[in-house]
């Protein structure tokens, strides 16, 4: 007789971590997004030009990687 598995147990490792939590718990955690970092440690929130430069730099890196492939 084969034991019937629950849907979350049918995968290789089953549902773990964030995926295994109920939706209310996931929303509770997600709503905290970044709140553990004090405002003075968030340079992009205070300096728009710094954020813009970082975004351009990231975009240039992504473009150069696409050209390499």
pLDDT, mean of residues 10-23: 77
How many Å apart are CA 60 and CA 62, to the nearest integer?
Answer: 5
pLDDT of residue 25: 93
**Which of 68 and 26 is assigned the larger pLDDT?**
26
Q: What is the pTM of this model?
A: 0.35
| Per-residue pLDDT band at 1 (split at 50, 70, 90) | very low
What average pLDDT does the segment 9-30 reach? 80
The average pLDDT across 57-68 equals: 75
Burial of 15 (0-12, 13-18, 19+ CB in 10 A): middle
């Amino acid at each position: 007789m084969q034991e019937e598995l629950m849907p979350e147990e049918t995968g290789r490792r089953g549902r773990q971590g964030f995926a295994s939590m109920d939706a209310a718990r996931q929303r509770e955690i997600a709503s905290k997004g970044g709140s553990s970092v004090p405002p003075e440690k968030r340079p992009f929130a205070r300096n728009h030009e710094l954020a813009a430069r970082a975004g351009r730099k990231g975009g240039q890196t992504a473009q150069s990687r696409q050209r390499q492939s």
